[in-house]
Amino acid sequence: MAKSLNWLGVFFLAVACTSGSPDTTPAADAATVDPDSLNAYLAENPNDVSALSLRARRYLDGANIPYALADAQAILELDSTNHDGWLMYGEANYLTNQSRVARDAWQRCIAEHPAEIDCRLKLAELYSMVMEYDKSLELVNKVIEFDPNQATAYFIKGLNIRDSKGDTAMALSYIQKAIDLDNEYVAAIDMAGVMTAAKGDPLALSYYNRLLELQPDNARTYYKMGMYHLGVGNYNGAIEAFTKCTQLDPTDAEAFYNLGYIHLELSMLSEARKHFTSSIQAREINYRAYYGRAFCWERGGDAANAEKDYRQALTLNPQHGPSREGLNRVLKQKK
């Protein structure tokens, strides 16, 4: 144990010497410290702010919010001006929907550290979420003034412009700037894909393919690719993407539904019914899939099964007009 604690002391010294800010511990470093060694060290040295900061960050990364909050509070009791303390106190409260407390914490962080970046970005994100876009833009512009290479600032700025001004071209330019600065920025790449896909721009596929390079087994990316292909009428591409999505995530009811819809459009009734059934199995409360399967039964001449599924769709959604119309059609056939 003594050897572990000696190594831990050397680690803290290295962080202090290499960090851009003397009281800021990089979040990624928390994962490299053995939890038992860190806990044992803090048991003997409960007032070591650097160690508390390291453990709080590890708790945040592991979604252990109560423990992260306790360590952040302990840091601030020892040093009421501590940057990491206010940063993580804000993060922990934000993650528990205490947005006002988080806002106040990050504002205090900025007040104590006028050249601060991380708390400004967190506060900018918060203001963007609550649609106070001017306040958010002011914060990210200040961050860019301090550091023109802050990818997160450009990403948040792009979202603010999209949501406040509806200017997707300018918004995309800032999001692309974020990607240029960090070509592994998953959130920015994903948003660029979504925004270009909404315009039917084939550039969307380049963004989605880049996401798959970074996260090869991400079912949601395949789903978004499928929606792009479906939107531009490329059924083959959509089938391929949605099928891959369902292979990675057999609980994705919407992907199965879209496969059913496409096969219905192609008049492949048996395949369509199979996919609608899979959609129902993935999510039983699913009136659209019951409607789709009913329509397949009806087109195939099976009025009895069509009636059954139309009735089930209406049980789930009594206001669904197409199911009501379908039920009336098959009932007329029985007369």
Q: Can you give the pLDDT of all 335 residues of the chain as single tens digits? A: 333 333 333 333 333 333 333 333 333 344 456 778 888 999 998 999 999 999 999 999 999 999 999 999 999 999 999 999 999 999 999 999 999 999 999 999 999 999 999 999 999 999 999 999 999 999 999 999 999 999 999 999 999 999 999 999 999 999 999 999 999 999 999 999 999 999 999 999 999 999 999 999 999 999 999 999 999 999 999 999 999 999 999 999 999 999 999 999 999 999 999 999 999 999 999 999 999 999 999 999 999 999 999 999 999 999 999 999 999 999 988 76
Buried b (16+ CB within 10 A) or exposed e, 153-169: bbbbbbbbbbebeeebe
245: closest CA among 274, 262, 273, 224?
224
Query: Which residues are CB-contacts of 305 (< 8 A; sequence separation ≥ 6)?
Result: 294, 297
How far apart CA 171 and CA 258 sit, in angstroms, is: 30
Phi-psi region of 33 (alpha: psi -120 to 50; beta: other; left: phi over 0): beta
Which amino acid does the sequence have at 128? S
1-116 CATH, one of 1.10.357.10, 3.40.50.450, 3.30.420.40, 1.25.40.10: 1.25.40.10
Q: Which two tokens stand for residue 86?
A: 């206010």
Alpha carbon 149 to its chain's center: 23
Helix (H), strand (E), coil (C) string for the chain:
CHHHHHHHHHHHHHHHHHCCCCCCCCHHHHHHCCHHHHHHHHHHCCCCHHHHHHHHHHHHHCCCHHHHHHHHHHHHHHCCCCHHHHHHHHHHHHHCCCHHHHHHHHHHHHHHCCCCCHHHHHHHHHHHHCCCHHHHHHHHHHHHHHCCCCHHHHHHHHHHHHHHHCCHHHHHHHHHHHHHHCCCCHHHHHHHHHHHHHCCCCHHHHHHHHHHHHCCCCHHHHHHHHHHHHHCCCHHHHHHHHHHHHHHCCCCHHHHHHHHHHHHHCCCHHHHHHHHHHHHHHCCCCHHHHHHHHHHHHHCCCHHHHHHHHHHHHHHCCCCHHHHHHHHHHHHHHC
C-beta of residue 51 within 8 angstroms of C-beta of residue 45? yes
Q: Which two tokens stand for residue 163?
A: 């949501």
Q: Which two tokens stand for residue 333?
A: 């056939």
This prediction's pTM = 0.82
How far apart CA 158 and CA 161 sit, in angstroms, is: 5
C-beta of residue 196 within 8 angstroms of C-beta of residue 203? yes
